[in-house]
A and B are shown apart, each in its own frame.
Chain A
């Protein structure tokens, strides 16, 4: 795709995941529409996007669970089409659905994956102890997995995925359905693993989680629409000014703002509004006038640094406008 080509980063020396024009079609539907990127050793690489954007499909192709329809890719130096069995020895994977055996105990699940991954006999006990310790489950080692809370299940799943000490870890929405505290603990574990040199590829749709990533790709409708460090995304991909407006009746205010030509977008944000404009100064003046005319009390209006959510929303809306225009044109 044209946009994907434009954002291909120069391949680094220590590249562990590399993808060129990767594509997956299900019938007429293009779940992944030609994406290219690379991930370097020890990096936490995030894939941010709404549900159905193609995040899981991409991860499943990288793990050898799905065969790509087009494009090429290498994981740990092995081809994702022909060397999936080799890839599987180098990676750990955690799917978005909890997928350990509910009817087995914590310890039995660990033993199971330890056996399937053929962890050497002399290391088995140490790895098991490490997982139990890491997940905080030492006291619950004999509990049925079905009785564990979400956070525990998720840490156990992570433990089972890294029993064989893989250099690359794929996490597909690992924190969905887990309370914020457990989510925070989970990210501490991910950071610790990355600190030991493990490359982490993680998908998410939580904005605040994506801030923890070293680098972030934003995917939408099967395409990679932005790629970079979270800090850079906020500056380079957001040339427009973001204004934070604290006013009365934000719903009515939104309707008023929509009529101002210099305001490109408005969105409810907390108790107030965020508005996007090309130039901050003239837009602020126009908004003050318009709200005064409608007798809507304005407490505060100022330009702010965009959040990742602003970037995300702005990129997606720009993309939708472009797609809409294209359709108009075709007609």
Chain B
């Protein structure tokens, strides 16, 4: 048994590593993807281009403007008194928000009256718009409090304690709420899935397409030997990619790593049961490599979207939340992020490990039984 598996394994590594395109997929893709997610994919909203329409032009209004532009969140891109021009700035997306202060702002403020300030936000990108409104409200509130406090002090002529609720939020595990810390470890799961899924299905379908599988099937090789010999190399490649992405995450992006790497390897091993099983299954329904590739992506994208990789599962409609229970990425993400960012151990993550084990065994069983049938 082992002789045949090792023979297949050796052959598979030779075939895959000899193909320059495959080498790029195995070693280039992880690096490129990690870089993309590390740099480009970020939900942090900073440096929002802001246009200013200050019709008051007083000490108070200028101070408010400075509070905006002085923060890390807003950059002043234009200053105008023309409504049409302000509109054009938003239309052309040169500005994502317009801060408009009407004449009489300072006067109303000093009179103790509410002083309205208008913020126009480009709501086309709802995510960014929400952040902009949040930031602006905080800045305006801080400015308002400062003014109110200042006035109270002046009226009273003495220092007096102003009672107020002071909320001091602390984000554990990711103190700066950097989305990079959240996404980069998650890439490990996507890459392992994509690589193992694609390579397994393509490697088997390729043999069908070229006709070499027939020559192997007339030998006394047993299906289990064939399946192991065909999937083990891609499991090994999956592990190599885990190490590669982890190295980039730690050394290049300085993502915190607080847990035990062995737990990640265990999680990936369990996760691979499902992905290799799905790859095997795809190979039984496809006849050409092109079909295999299409089917892989057809499966991969929904699996990614319903995994919690980007969009929280808790926000999904109930049906999709249920559906995500059979999505292996969901569990491996919890394991990887837990180990990276929270440093939690097996005593916390065992339910995810168990889910992956059950899921993996089920998928493998289905794939193998189908595989035996199609070979016969």
B15-A65 in contact (CB<8A): no
A115-B219 in contact (CB<8A): no
A115-B212 in contact (CB<8A): no
> How far, in whole Å, are A111 and B15 apart by their CA atoms in the complex?
14
B216-A116 in contact (CB<8A): yes
Q: Which residues of B have CB within 8 Å of A97? A: 211, 214
Q: Which residues of B have CB within 8 Å of A100? A: 212, 215
Pick from B6-14, B33-41, B146-154 the stretch touching chain A: B6-14
Q: Which residues of B have CB within 8 Å of A95? A: 211, 214-215
A65-B217 in contact (CB<8A): yes
Known: A88-B218, A103-B14. A112 touches B211 (CB 8 A): no
Please name the residue on chain B nearest to A144 by beta carbon.
B18
> How far, in whole Å, are A116 and B222 apart by their CA atoms in the complex?
10
Q: Which residues of A have CB within 8 Å of B11? A: 101, 104, 108, 112
Q: Which residues of A have CB within 8 Å of B15? A: 101, 103-104
> How far, in whole Å, are A108 and B17 apart by their CA atoms in the complex?
14
Is residue B243 within 8 Å, beta carbon to beta carbon, of the partner chain?
Answer: no
Q: Bits for B199-224, please: 1 = Cβ < 8 Å to A, else 0.
A: 00000000000111011111111100
B210-A117 in contact (CB<8A): no
Please name the residue on chain A nearest to B11 by beta carbon.
A112
Q: Bits for B1-32, please: 1 = Cβ < 8 Å to A, else 0.
A: 00110111011001100110000000000000
A117-B220 in contact (CB<8A): yes
Q: Give min CB distance, A121 to chain B, whole Å.
A: 9
Q: Which residues of B have CB within 8 Å of A91? A: 218
Q: Give min CB distance, A73 to chain B, whole Å.
A: 16
Residue in A63, A91, A103, A111 with the greatest tally of chain B CB atoms within 10 Å: A103
Interface size on A, residues (CB 8 A): 29
A116-B218 in contact (CB<8A): no
> How far, in whole Å, are A100 and B11 apart by their CA atoms in the complex?
12
> How far, in whole Å, are A320 and B222 apart by their CA atoms in the complex?
44
> How far, in whole Å, are A157 and B18 apart by their CA atoms in the complex?
22
Q: Give min CB distance, B7 to chain A, whole Å.
A: 3
Q: Give min CB distance, B36 to chain A, whole Å.
A: 31
Is residue B376 within 8 Å, beta carbon to beta carbon, of the partner chain?
Answer: yes
Q: Which residues of A have CB within 8 Å of B215? A: 93, 95, 99-100, 157, 160-161
B212-A103 in contact (CB<8A): no
A99-B211 in contact (CB<8A): yes
Residues of A in contact with B (beta carbons under 8 Å apart): 63-65, 67, 85, 88-89, 91, 93, 95, 97-104, 108, 111-113, 115-118, 157, 160-161
| A89-B220, A161-B215 known, 6 other contacts, Cβ within 8 Å | A91-B218, A95-B215, A99-B214, A100-B212, A115-B6, A116-B221
Closest 6 CB pairs of A and B: A115-B7, A99-B215, A93-B218, A97-B211, A88-B220, A99-B211
8 A-B residue pairs with Cβ-Cβ distance under 8 Å, sorted by A, are A65-B218, A88-B219, A101-B15, A104-B14, A104-B15, A112-B10, A115-B3, A117-B219
